[in-house]
Structure 1
Amino acid sequence: MSADPHVHVARSPWWFKLLGRLLEPWVRIKRDPAEPAGLLRSGAAVCYAIERDGTSDALILERACREAGLPSPMQLLELPGRRRRSVFSLSRQHGWLFGRTDSRGPKEPIGQMIRAIEADPERDIQVIPVSIYVGRAPNRESGWFSVLFAENWLVVGRFRRMLALLLNGRDTVVHFSEPVSLRTVLSESQGLTSERLTRKIARVLRTHFRRIRAAVIGPDLSHRRTVVDAVLNAQPVRDAVAATASKENISHAKAERRARDFALEIAADYSHPVVRSTSFLLSNFWNKLYDGIAMHHFDKVRAAAPGHEVIYVPCHRSHTDYLLLSYQLHHSGVVPPHIAAGVNLNLPVVGPILRRGGAFFLRRSFKGNAMYSVVFNEYLAQLVDRGVPLEYFIEGGRSRTGRLLAPRAGMLVMTLRAFLRAPRRPVLFQPVYIGYEKLMEGKSYVGELTGKPKEKESLLGLIRGLKVLRQRYGHVTLNFGEPILLTPMLDAAAPDWRETTSEADSKPEWLNSVVDDLAEKIQVNINRAADVNPINLLALAILATPKHAMAENDLLAQLELTKSLFQELPYSDRVTLTAMNPQGIIAYGEQMQWIRRVRHPLGDVLVTEGEQAVLLSYFRNNVLHLNAAAAWVAACFLNNRRMSRSSVIRLGKIIYPFIQGELFLPWDDEGFAKQVQDTIEFFVRRGILEASSEGRVLERGPGQDDGAYQLRVIARSMLQAFERYYIAIAALVKNGPHTMSAGELETACTLTAQRLGMLNELSAPEFFDKALFRGFIQKLREAKVVWTDDNGKLDFAEALEDMVRDAKVILAREVRHSILKITPGGDNERDLDARPPSDPGETTAESLHDRHVANEHQRHHGEH
């Protein structure tokens, strides 16, 4: 770079050098980029622009420039009327403790440089914006005060800045941006006066620094009042205020105060110091609680997220879900999201901390309160518009069974409408699977499922719950699923969606279908990112035995088979599987006190008993979807020694929509058929099934055979689902058409399942979960097998009776009779097993496949 005659080398004041030497041991600088000299333009003088005034920033800048071989900010620039240092700040700072700023700072030096260039057509000055962050790294956890004095949006005084340097100076980043040529700016701004051009450059620099700071430490939402004011000034809220004042005959001021109260009740009060302090506290909390927290596929999230409005949509299994996710994101250098939390968590002491950590609160229902609904919608729209990452649980509440719950679309609808109103940046939904090995809320979940009322959250209850810290809860895994981009879904559903009105209350006709598809896809992608831990594998095996006990050799073989199944037929490339071998899994289960060893001379037996067995069902249900295809194939051989391959696949296609709706499986009918085919081939390779007649006929070994035992264990993981389906269709057919409403059928099914569970000591509370019966009945409606008549009663097609008869293939006669005996029925009560086919020329599915098998067997082996 050629020398500029208008630049003069000058010595730094002695006190500046002294302070620099005193500061040097406390500061370690990381430059970004590492070699910023490559950014400079030849032939132009250099002037640095920094965000905040202060001696410490000037010292850091001078040292960073010296170490990088850049011109010193201490050199003098010759400007009209005076010489000045080659650095200026966007704001002047006053005050030793808290700090005050004067935004007039940059106008004088920028104006002088503009006038100098105007006076000399050959002269140019390049302004390099330099961002300085002290202690900005989110994973800085060396001490309590370190996180309190880390970089944030707050204006701080000299004393606080000094403390920040002493505590966090070794984590200092100096970011050099591309230089701005003032000559180029001047030539491109013809017609602007020097004063207006000065203001424009100052405004552009402020925007630049805010954008860089937001990327490093998150958006500036420290002052809740600014967001609340924006919400109250929005036209939809102003209209709602006016409508409320008119409808309730109250003053406009009173209605406005009510709207402000709603906004303050909802809004987060995000605080970077609180987030960092909480992160510091949580690191100790997690160490007491868990043996480790693992994240998988996070690198893919980091690569996909830039430039998007990111919305994290995890499964909801524990109150620790949102703390864990935010902590891990913060710890990994990503801005934690704002989290939609139920207003029941807005407790004394706890609520303000959660609010400052990014939680915003919503009521369970918006019904009957139009103004609250408008205010909440507008608040969410403001967050989306500002690019704030969000997190919410579309299940609506924590799962008490371990399965994903049917999604509730409220937050998705509000998010989509906010995006359609102002589609400034594309929206990306990020599904997250959270897997535990033990739950703090496990006992309360069991109580709620067995009829006990949900305990209301309270500060006293929280204090009492601190006893959970005495226990260990194993490992936790966060798996990031495949992200879902909103724009392609909108393009597919409505190619002209960009022309949709931007009015806040607009609701296009296609919106509901897009939301339903999106919700389904989120749940599917959460399941496609499952983590299979040792407790999941133990639960799949040991709960499939009548007394929840297995000989150690049998359990070892079953664990090996299940691991091999998941490895050879991967459900998804994002599913993770424990590396423990079967012996290690059993030892770990004993260590975690999920199973107990009973010593015996003929071989040890592993058991799980009582409440532990019920709690363990939660972890079986976490991964039940991974076992669905194998369980179906195995179930076909529970009561049948032989079966044709085509019957296994045909009946599988009939039952698949119901399994898919319950477990959020990813395949269509043909995809499931292929998965069944692949599973059959796996069982044949393992010698568990034998294929004959050119693969058309499948046969298992006798009941006492090891392979038959392993099939029974796999089948029983899903057998209760098939029994639930039979309860529902049997109750409906037994009572006859036009006799029961959907609600009455749900109640009858639930009571029947509860009674059956009591008689058979079932340890699966979800067996009598009313929501699962409701979902099954809805699937029957979607398939147009069941519908509602004009009187609100259910009618059904003949296909439903065929399904009752098809159940003979899967369910043993004693199970069917037990269900039919318990199921309440009216005047139409009858023995469904004894019913003849509706057409004398028909035959049942059971006799059909038996006849086919017999023919194949006779043709190829000469005997039946």
Structure 2
Amino acid sequence: MLNMSTTDTSARSRAPWWFNLAGQLLEPWVRIRRDPAEPATLLQAGVPVCYVIERDGFSDALILDRACREAGLPSPMQPLSGTRRRRSVFALARRDGWLFGRNRKRSPTESLTQLVRSLEGDLDRDVQIVPVSIYVGRAPTRESGWFSVLFSENWVVVGRFRRMLALLLNGRDTVVHFSTPVSLRTVVNEAGDTRPERLTRKIARVLRTHFRRIRAAVIGPDLSHRRTVVDSVLNAEPVRAAIAATATKENISQAKAWRRAHDLVMEIAADYSHPVVRSASFLLSNFWNKLYDGIHMHHFDKARAAAPGHEVVYVPCHRSHADYLLMSYQLHMSGVVVPHIAAGVNLNLPVIGSILRRGGAFFLRRSFKGNALYSVVFNEYVAQLIDRGVPMEYFIEGGRSRTGRLLAPRAGMLAMTVRAFLRAPRRPVLFQPVYIGYEKLMEGKSYIGELSGKPKEKESLIGLLRGLKVLRQRYGHVALNFGEPIELNPLLDAASANWRAAIDDPEAKPEWLGRVVDDLADKIQININRAADVNPINLLALALLATPKHAMAENDLLSQLELMKALLEELPYSDRMTMTSMDPAGIIAYGEQMGWIRRVRHPLGDVLVTEDEQAVLLSYFRNNVLHLTATAAWVASCFLNNRRMSRASVLRLGRIIYPFIQGELFLPWDADGFCQQLQATIDFFVRRGLLEATGEGRVLERGPGQDDAAFQLKIIARSLIQAFERYYITIAALVKNGPHTLTSAELENACTLTAQRLSLLNELSAPEFFDKALFRGFIQKLRENRIVWTDDAGKLDYDKGLEDMVRDARVILARDVRHSILKITPGGDGEKETPEKPLPADATSEALHERHVATEHHEHAPVEAIVVEESGSEARDKN
């Protein structure tokens, strides 16, 4: 230990009186923790010491002087022995003003040059340079106050007033980090004949790198893209080439094209700020407490375990504007770095946009068409994020779902991510699907209006302020379920054994790239659905919306809820699915409490009902979990209008319909896997007494129409029946108009109009029934399966199998529904149904099975062989 008591007293006497006074005034507000605790052990005895600090600042000089005094180190305020320097300290980054000398324009490297020249001519002389890092209010803790967070240490060089506030609020959490001294003599000797000016620039560069590493270790990495990424984007070769191309194409100067590119990067780039994120977490804590009764995360531990060593891309479903905030808030509170989120430029509102940007949002336009420079700049920005290992989040659906179903993915961001990884595969990419489940939506009423044809209301600051009335309502619980992550490398390996060759040419577009992106998009949607959370509102919606008047006797509703819970428990959709622990009675009570259902008292038993508007809103929550009951709904649909069917026919027709259900609901199985699920579901129904198996299990039979089991099957079937009606509308419109008559757009429009009219006539409480996107998806699936194709004139032609599909629809859809659709659907005289010939009611199971086997080898067996008995009249059901 060096004895510096005499030197310390002398140094204090040499410091200006106002400096000593300021130190005494500051002392009660600052508590210093030295790192290491005894820095004097780092110094070499007898060698002069010169301290270097990262940033120029009066408060930093006061803190350093006190820390040195308390540690028994030489004072930074004393002259440096053997030089003309009046102080033994200098700063690497300086601003104009007072401090270590009167020359305000002196470069920081000038101090280093003086030190280097002071060693010339005396080979025995040396100076110890001690880097000292000073942090006031490092990374705040969860218990830190709001203002303490705002003025905590970060990467920004702040002004004197803000520094003063930081000292007042966070001074008791001050860290002074002393690094190992550097022998200037050793550096000079190793440099050889290097000129002093060049040597000092090199030393300054090394010191800046050192300070950055220490700061990153203490307060976290610098994530401010406006300082660290913008220049990288503008200097990237693709962007420079695009700037030159823009200048040439538009006949403008290179400087003007560069400024345009710079403006685009500034429009896009996030400006992440830890104080803003932490401050927002305080606000959101109160906000969530006013809105929600709880936010629950499931399987997060698995997601956290998979993340290390990967570039993580969070890909949640998109159902509400709250999705952005919920994800970031929950990750932040769980101790995970908040991802940078791709947000629509429509959210870049005054004030709000700036806050979102500092919370990690980067903005993108809805379309890149017609702006090549923007496309290149945005792609390069994403590539920089991937290259730097910054976690990202985006919604591949492109927008919020208005129906509650997952939307068809828009793979633009996925393609950018894959291409960025191929360009610089330094860290493997991991996509983390997340299912977000609500019990009530803030945007519910606006979604219904948009589906009914009202234009989407444009986001605005006034609209946001007007929307604060939502704080007067409660929205139940929210679930964030983390699905099974998807690694990019195995997908690339499966697509091409030589995919790494694409790295050599960043502009190449290998033929397998599109296939990889499409497969990745499908896997993400499938894994989101596999992580579904079944809440009480989902279950109530599945049951009540399947009844004509959206009402059920309490006993019937209790039985239906118990059946659905048992189905999901005995035949779990996946190991990531979660379900409410409430029993049926608790679910009903919760639905009443949330205002979704109303109890009607009656002497013969209470009835639970959901009102018309509530029923429309409930359809959203039914659609959230529709995929979980898809196999059960298909089996039940086969017995909606039929008393008996062969098991083989249920499976065969299921195999035919599966590609369309799978495309709409993002189901996880292949055709064989779906048939296995159907088998398991049939066995479940048989165990529960909903179906009876005869003929050694080959023929299945349900009870009569008024039977409780038949009623429960009917409720399950009707959750999916509208999808089959949409399919029938589409193929009936095609067949009715004939081949080479309609374009895809014309067919889509005809189907939408037909569905809208059918909905009005039947008072359907499901706006998604006439959602144009669902018809578009079904038509696309028909084309993918080569059932429908486009001729040279752009009109649709179709395979004869389409007419067989119309015929097979008779098994599922009631006659009056089919006739209504055919009557409403625009077109020529078109297709007319052939007379149906149901088999005699007294036909034996053995005879029916023989008849089925005789026809089963055909691709489409006659409907008479599929349907064992059609219960077309109530009289037959009563027998």
Give the structure-2-normalised TM-score: 0.82
Among residues 249, 252, 255, which one is paired with 2:251 in the alignment? Answer: 249
**Offset at 1:200?**
7.2
Larger Rg: 2
Question: Which residue number in structure 2 is paired with residue 859 of structure 1?
Answer: none
How far apart, CA to CA, are the structure 2 residues paired with 1:101 and 1:574?
A: 63
Tell me how far apart the structure 2 counterparts of residues 57 and 534 of structure 1 sit (CA, whole Å): 58
1:847 match: 864
Q: Which amino acid in structure 2 is aligned with residue 476 of structure 1?
A: V
Alignment of 1:712-751 (within 5 A): 712-751=714-753
Partner of 1:858: none
Of residues 592-601 and 293-302 in structure 1, the stretch that sits farther from structure 2 once superposed is 293-302
Equivalent AA in structure 2 for residue 635 of structure 1: S
Which residue is equivalent to 1:370? 372
Change (3 A) 1:199 1:723: same
- 2:343 is matched with which residue? 341
Q: Within 2, Cα distance between the matches of 1:23 and 1:560?
A: 68
TM-superposed deviation, 1:629: 1.3
8 Å CA contact retained: 2:691, 2:703 = yes
Partners of 2:498 and 2:161 in 1: CA distance: 57
**2:876 aligned residue:** none
Note if contact 2:693-2:700 (Cα within 8 Å) is conserved in structure 1: yes
Structure 1 residue aligned with 2:513, among 508, 511, 514? Answer: 511
Aligned equivalent of 1:134: 137
Deviation at 1:21, TM superposition (A): 14
The range that moved more, 810-819 or 232-241, is: 232-241
Q: Aligned equivalents of 2:178 and 2:484: distance in 1?
A: 34
What value does the CA root-mean-square deviation take over the aligned residues? 4.6
Corresponding residue to 2:278 among 272, 276, 279 = 276
260-269 or 557-566, larger mean C-alpha shift = 260-269
Does 2:357 correspond to 1:390? no
Instruction: Select the residue among 693, 712, 726 that pairs with 2:695.
Output: 693
Change beyond 3 A, Cα 1:851–1:321: closer
SS at match of 2:400: coil
Q: Is the 8 A contact 1:10 1:75 kept in 2?
A: no
The equivalent residue for 1:229 is 231
Give CA-to-partner distance per residue, 1:437-476, whole Å, 9 cap, x none: 1111111111110111111222222222222222121222
- Give the conservation status (yes or no) of the 8 Å contact 2:32–2:176: no
* Equivalent residue number for residue 16 of structure 2: none
- 1:338 Cα deviation after fit: 2.0
Alpha carbons of 1:496 and 1:615: their partners in 2 closer, same or farther (altered >3 Å)?
same
Amino acid at match of 1:614: V
* Conservation of the 8 A alpha-carbon contact between 1:540 and 1:717: yes
> Deviation at 1:732?
1.5
Distance 2:566 2:173 in 1: 47
Task: Within 5 Å, give how 1:578-727 maps onto structure 2.
Answer: 578-727=580-729
Change beyond 3 A, Cα 1:213–1:767: farther
Amino acid of the structure 1 residue aligned with 2:460: S
What is the correspondence of 1:40-189 to structure 2 with a 5 Å cutoff?
Answer: 74=73, 134-137=137-140, 139-140=142-143, 142-143=145-146, 145-156=147-158, 160=162, 163-164=165-166, 167-168=169-170
Kindly indicate whether the alpha-carbon contact (under 8 Å) linking 2:647 and 2:700 is maintained by their aligned counterparts in 1.
Answer: yes
Secondary structure at the counterpart of residue 710 of structure 1:
helix
Q: One-letter code of the match for 1:847?
A: E
| Residue type at the aligned position of 1:705 | D
Cα pair distance change 1:94/1:146, threshold 3 Å: farther
- In structure 2, the partner of 1:323 is 325
Deviates more, 1:204-213 or 1:226-235: 204-213
2:636 alignment partner, SS class = helix
Deviation at 1:202, TM superposition (A): 7.2
Deviation by residue 1:186-206 (Cα, 9 ceiling, x = unmatched): 9xx999989999987875675
Where does residue 778 of structure 2 map in the other structure?
A: 776
Q: Does 1:523 align with 2:540?
A: no
Kindly provide the CA deviation profile for residues 512-535 of structure 1, in whole angstroms up to 9, marking residues without a partner as x.
111111111111111112111111
* 1:126 to 1:229, Cα distance in 2 relative to 1, 3 A: closer
- Distance in 2 (alpha carbons) for counterparts of 1:562 and 1:60: 67
Distance 1:204 1:685 in 2: 75
For the 8 Å contact 1:94–1:157, the answer to whether it is kept is no
How many Å separate the matches in 2 of 1:126 and 1:650? 82
**CA 1:777/1:200 → structure 2, altered by over 3 Å: closer, same or farther?**
same
What SS class does the counterpart of residue 381 from structure 2 fall into?
A: helix
* Rounded Cα–Cα distance in structure 2 between residues aligned with 1:366 and 1:557: 53
What is the rounded CA distance, in whole Å, between the counterparts of 1:100 and 1:311 in structure 2? 46
Contact 1:734 1:832 in 2 (8 A): no
- Residue 643 of structure 1 and its aligned partner are, at CA, apart by 2.4
The normalised TM-score by structure 1 is 0.83
SS of residue in 1 equivalent to 2:642: coil
Q: Give the aligned residue type for 1:330.
A: H
Would you say 1:541 and 2:558 are equivalent positions? no
What letter is aligned with 2:154? Answer: N
* Preserved contact between residue 313 and residue 432 of structure 1 (Cα < 8 Å): yes
Distance 1:750 1:12, change over 3 A: farther
Deviations 1:565-623 (A, max 9, x none): 22222222222211222222111111111111111111111111111111110111111
Distance in structure 1 (CA, Å) of the matches to 2:416 and 2:445: 34
**CA gap 1:106/1:603 in 2 versus in 1, 3 angstroms:** farther
8 Å Cα contact 1:8-1:75 kept in structure 2: no
Distance 1:584 1:165, change over 3 A: farther
Q: 1:835 to 1:553 in 2, by over 3 A?
A: closer
Q: Which residue of 1 aligns with 2:456?
A: 454
Deviations 1:540-564 (A, max 9, x none): 1111111111111111121122122
* 1:155 Cα offset (Å): 2.9
Q: How far has the Cα of 1:103 moved from its partner?
A: 6.6
Instruction: Verify the 8 A CA contact 1:106 1:202 in the aligned structure 2.
Output: no
Deviations 1:477-521 (A, max 9, x none): 222222222222222212222221555543222211111111111
Amino acid at match of 1:345: L
Distance 1:211 1:546, change over 3 A: farther
How many percent of aligned residue pairs carry the same amino acid? Answer: 72
- CA–CA distance in 2 between the matches of 1:510 and 1:482? 24
CA distance in 2, matches of 1:109, 1:699: 99
Q: Does the residue aligned with 2:478 lie in a helix, a strand or coil?
A: strand
CA distance in 1 between counterparts of 2:657 and 2:700 reads: 20
Q: Is the CA contact (8 Å cut-off) linking 1:329 and 1:336 kept in structure 2? A: yes
Change over 3 Å in CA distance of 1:524–1:102 after alignment to 2: farther
Decide whether aligned partners of structure 1 residues 310 and 175 sit closer, same or farther in structure 2, where only a CA change above 3 A counts.
farther
In structure 1, C-alpha distance between the alignment counterparts of 2:265 and 2:540, rounded to whole Å? 48
Choose from 579, 587, 593 the match for 1:577.
579
Aligned partner of 1:861 in structure 2 is none
State the partner residue of 2:446. Answer: 444
**One-letter amino acid of the counterpart of residue 742, structure 1:** S
Tell me: CA distance 1:307–1:705, structure 2 relative to 1, closer, same or farther (3 Å): same
Q: Which segment is superposed worse, 697-706 or 619-628? A: 697-706
What secondary structure sits across from 1:424 in the alignment? coil
Cα distance between partner residues in 2 of 1:10 and 1:308: 53
Q: Is the 8 A contact 2:743 2:794 kept in 1?
A: yes
* 1:137 and 1:171 in contact (8 A); partners too: no
Aligned equivalents of 1:636, 1:176: Cα separation in 2: 77
Matches of 2:65 and 2:202, distance apart in 1: 27
Q: For residues 472 and 804 of structure 1, what CA distance do their matches in structure 2 show?
A: 46
**Of 518-527 and 499-508, the range deviating more from structure 2:** 499-508
Q: Secondary structure at 2:759's aligned position in 1?
A: helix
* CA 1:205–1:190: 2 relative to 1, 3 Å: closer
Q: Counterpart of 1:774 in 2: which secondary structure? A: helix
Q: Letter of the aligned partner of 1:356 in structure 2?
A: R
Aligned to 1:264: 266
